[in-house]
Each structure stands twice: as C-alpha cells, then as structure tokens.
Amino acid sequence: MKRVLITGVTGQDGTYLARELLTEGVEVHGTLRPESVSLVEPGVNSHRLNLTDRDALEQLVRDLKPSEVYHLAGQTSVAASWEDPLETIQQTGLPTAVLLQAIAKYSPETRIVNASSAEIFGLAKAPQNESAAIRPVSPYGSAKALGYFLVENFRSRGLHASSCILYNHESPLRSDRFVSRKITRAVAEISQGLAEKLVLGNLEASRDWGWAPDYVRALRLVAAQPEAADYVIGTGESHTVAEFVEVAFEAVGIRDWKSYVTTDASLLRPSDGALQLADSTLANSRLGWKPTVSFTQIVAKMVQADLAELKR
C-alpha cells in the first residue's frame, strides 16, 4: 500500500489532500502540533510533534519511509511573521531543511513536494513565472524563500524534491485569520443581522485568488512527474480586496456594500509586495493543470458555506 506523509494535515490544503488520498486507499500519515485542537480526518494516522523537534521529525521519516511527502506545515500569516520573525523562520523555514536532510539520509526514494508561496516574489515584476526574481518583503516570504532554495539545493543532489509556488487559494476550510474568510464570514453575519460592520485594512491590495482543491491537485501532479521541478500555481487573474468584498455582498443580495465596510490603519501590513499575478504556463503545458473555479464562484461558495454554518 502506498504511504504518504502530510505535514500540517489539519490545515486547509492538508485536509483536502488527505481526503483525496484516503478515498484512493492510500495509507495517510499527518503531522500536527502537540497543542492542536483541530480535527484530523478519519483514517489519517496522526503524529503530534513540533516541526522544530529535529529528532522527532527525523525519526518519523526513518520509521515511515513514505513514498511521498507533502510539506504544507508552517506559520502561514504574513502579518504574524512581523510580530515574531524568529518564530516564523523556525516554524516555516527550518523544518524544510530537517525534512530534506532526513529524506536524503533515511529514505532517498521518497518524493517531496514543498508548498512554497507567491510571497517569495515580493517586489518581482508581474506576472511572475518560475524565472521571476526572489525578492520577499516580509519575514514570512523570506522563510518561504529559504525553503524554496533548500529544495533546489537537495534536488541538485539527486532528491525528487519540488516546490509548488502557490498563489492565494481559498475555500470554506480557510481559517478566519485570512482576509478572505474574514470577509465571507462577516458578510454572512451582516446578512443575518448578526453584525453591522466589516473592518479591513488596504482595500486596494490585489491578489491572484484560486480554489484550494485545484491547488491540491497541482501538488499531486507535481509529485507524479518523472523529474522534479518547481512550478508556479495560480489563476493569472488579479482582484482587489474591494472586489472580493463586493462579490461577497452580492452573493447575499446586498449591492450597497460600502455602507457596511470601514477601514482601520492598524490592519495595514508594514510593507506590501508588488502585484501578485501568476504565470502558470509551465504547469499548464507540462502538468496539464488549469484552475476550474472562477473568482466569483470561489467567493460565492465561501459565503454560502458561512451562511449554512450560521444557520446550523
């Protein structure tokens, strides 16, 4: 039986990935933090450990010798990375080094796919493809850049190690620490008379937003390739936070959305990168990967999920 290890198995991407693999009869193992209260998908063999615990992580790889590793775990908030840059490096950058070294030492046939981020590009000119300059503008982006370069280093030594440079991707499983879910949940509450205002930072910030299950599919396609490589994964469309808000309110029949939204300067990032816009030509041509859900559909799906949750 095929055996797969997913770090961060209770996150958005980890959950979708685990569900897919389990339906195919794969033996799925996943890591989560010792203090985590998140639910693990039934059927997943869970391992509670801190990814900064080198000995524990190495032992896990040595014991499992998985066919594939999907490295999704880490501190995922750009804003939080400014509050504690050191922890961000420790939780997001260093575990990648430990995993790669453990695979090289104990399970060199294992294929590893590292979930990188468009935040590594930072100031790079849009659109960004695999040749774009790595110019992060946040500790989170820098931590992800470290992981990206480490994957490149170990690939040069013969490991089947790849990075998927993922642009923003959303779903009803998205944490409300992210602006997308914050918006859809607030809109659902406002539509039901449970809230009056939605407070945001920069409404003009633009992002390339996609559908999370599409991006999980990309991870798997990359793992299945004969040769390891890095791939930019995104829609090639950019939308502002204001557009996201407008579409979310339209999903509940509210057109005068501006009367419900206020801005707070304290929510602004210390610095923001250039326009994030993916050029996924390589993924389209080599993997046959394309996004399947439109921006409007993504927002509507999230709003409807939040409405259903409120009604429950």
- Please name which of 155, 160, 157, 116 lies closest in space to residue 134, comparing C-alpha atoms: 116
- Choosing from 117, 191, 238, 280, the catalytic residue is 117
Any catalytic annotation for residue 81? no
Active-site hit among 68, 107, 116, 119? 119
Q: Could you give the angle at the alpha carbon of 277 between the alpha carbons of 264 and 174, nearest 5°?
A: 55
Helices (H), 156-264: 179-191, 212-223, 241-250
Q: Give the Cα separation of 82 and 312 in Å (integer).
A: 36
The dihedral over CA atoms of 23, 224, 31, 303, expressed in degrees to the nearest 10, equals -60
301's tokens: 């799906």
Helix%, strand%, coil% for the chain, nearest 5? 45, 15, 40
Catalytic residue among 16, 140, 167, 215: 140
Catalytic (active site) residue 117? yes
Residues 6+ apart with CB under 8 A from 86: none
175 has catalytic annotation:
no
Provide the annotated active-site residues: 117, 119, 140
